[in-house]
Amino acid sequence: MSEAVQTMFAAIAKRYDLANRLLSCGRDVAWRRASLRMLEGQPRRILDLACGTYDFAIDALGAGKAVQVHGADFCLPMLQAGEAKRARHAITATNGDALHLPYADGSFDVAMVAYGWRNFDDKLAALRELKRVLKPGGQILILEFFRAESLWPRLFHGTFGRFGIPVIGGLISGDRAAYRYLYTSIKGFLSVSEATALITEAGFAKQRWRSCFGGISHAVVARIPD
């Protein structure tokens, strides 16, 4: 992942949680929890890639979807900003690269990424690396803002996403450019149909999709064939 993006996330780390809650009116919490309900079975060990300040990891533990979660993020200040939260839960943390994960093959039952996939330099390579660290039959869970194709998401991202988020996010974090990047990264990212094809190419099957807030956000769960 580019050094510029890493620096950007470091700059907003201390106000990241507050900005997320306000910009989404708290809906990000509901979206994470709804996506976790898509997971099948009783996974024990989960990898939370691009874990940020550990919200998704904590939600997974709270929902009974894991006994232990391992968080990994390329931005050390983000991990540090969430350290007080992490210390109260069964969560370990690693400052690591999505394309070169420091885990053995078959280490996890589930690998999940919330709003981080679009930031990886090589989206397909990141999927293949997640597949490598999953056990046979393991699942991936991706929660993301994909490039809008239908009318409502296009209107939302073209108005509030383009103008409102940089202004509000900038006021909260002190870094308007970081939240302008949110809009541009979504605009240049994969559509749902393109993401579906890439997940299949990476070797995952049985994809199940869920739309949140009329298609503003999407969650997908897929499985390594047994």
What are the pLDDT digits (tens) for 38-55? 999 999 999 999 999 999
pLDDT on residue 114: 97
pLDDT in the model for residue 135: 97
Residue 97 has φ and ψ, to the nearest 5°, of -95, 130
Integer CA distances (angstroms), 107 to 44, 57, 73, 110, 133, in order:
11, 16, 17, 9, 5
For residue 171, count other CB atoms closer than 10 A to its CB: 13
Domains located in the chain, CATH noted: 3-223 (3.40.50.150)
> Which residues of the chain are modeled with pLDDT < 70?
1
pLDDT at residue 76, rounded to an integer: 95
Q: What is the pTM of this model?
A: 0.92
With b for 16 or more beta-carbon neighbours within 10 A and e for fewer, the 120-152 pattern comes to beebeebbebbbebbbeebbbbbbbbbbbeeee
pLDDT (0 to 100) of residue 221:
98
pLDDT of residue 1: 55
